[in-house]
Amino acid sequence: MVRRAHGRAPLVAEGLFRAAAFACAGFVLVVMAGLFVVLLYRSRLSIDRFGWGFLWSAAWDPVRDNFGAASSIFGTVASTVIAMVIAVPLSLVIALFLVEVAPPRLARPVSYGIELLAGIPSIIYGMWGLFVLAPLMATNVQPAMQRVFGKLPLFAGPPMGIGILTAGLVLALMVLPFITAVVRDVFALVPPVMKEAGYGLGATTWEVTRKVTVGYGMKGIVGGVFLGLGRAIGETMAVTFVIGNDHRIAASLFASGNSIASTLANEFTEASEPVYLSALVELGLILFVVTLVIQVLAQLWLTRLARQAGSTS
């Protein structure tokens, strides 16, 4: 039994605090559930009309009211995959450099630079992509790639500069600072005593890095990667500028395409027909569900890692 040293006030405050904390947490859950319910409700017209076929139909015809999510899903997946393939190895290496190799005088400004990159608004990345990167790709990079790999269908088509590859590159640049910052912090938290133990046994820097630092920080790395993935999947303005806004699925990296977010950004304000609007809301629902699934998978993977780490230590 609590001794009331100062009267009822502390108990009342305690009760209020608990209630407020529960309310705020509950509010978050309510908003999330509400979002899902509203998305589901507003896409019922489209779900009734197209059913599951919506997911793999590549049509997008506002004149005949025939819509399909396949081209948008393909563009989202393709640009995200390209972004992660480029960004994840790069950010691991940068983080390792910052923690293990760089002298502090160099590590600090580079760290600040990375954090600045993370804070730049995405629309600036989009404008930079359109005005700087796209012409560079069109005049130098893409023709060079075509000269080397020309015959492959992956590099076919006119080098326009805008398209899935450029969108993937811009996304990689946006996602890189996030992953680097998280992974750098994780690596910095590796207990020095473990690294010293490795050095004491005669391991080189690379061996200690590979076996101790990365192994210890695997959970954080996975967390950082999923954070970057979440950002890349939903990124709107940067992708809209450089992806080409074309509803089709093409095998070439140089082809233009569309992502779910860029489709919504381009067409939502003008969709006045009910089925059109409903199809767009269903696209939003798909994105919501995909993001949710990725989060759940991330949590499952992290739990598994924690259990493994627990069992070996």
SS3 label, residue 249:
coil
Positions in 102-141 near other proteins (CB under 8 A)? 130, 134-135, 138
| One residue of 206, 270, 303, 308 binding other proteins per CB under 8 A | 270
Residues whose CB falls within 8 Å of the CB of residue 97, separated by 6 or more in sequence, listed in order: 110
Give the bridge partners for 66, in sequence order: 61
Residue with Cβ nearer other proteins (267 or 282): 267
How many binding residues for other proteins (CB under 8 A)?
Answer: 28
Residue with Cβ nearer other proteins (61 or 196): 61
Report the distance separating Cα 20 and Cα 23, nearest Å. Answer: 5
Report the distance separating Cα 77 and Cα 239, nearest Å. Answer: 12
Q: How far is the CB of 60 from other proteins (least distance, A)?
A: 6
SS3 label, residue 60:
strand
* Integer-rounded Cα radius of gyration of the chain: 24
Residue with Cβ nearer other proteins (223 or 282): 282
Positions in 41-100 near other proteins (CB under 8 A)? 59-64, 66
Positions in 216-235 near other proteins (CB under 8 A)? none
Positions in 150-169 near other proteins (CB under 8 A)? 157-158, 160-162
| Residue whose structure tokens are 């319910």 | 37
For residues 264 and 39, the answer to whether their CB atoms sit within 8 Å is no
Give the binding site for other proteins (CB under 8 A): 59-64, 66, 130, 134-135, 138, 157-158, 160-162, 240, 244-247, 256, 266-267, 269-272
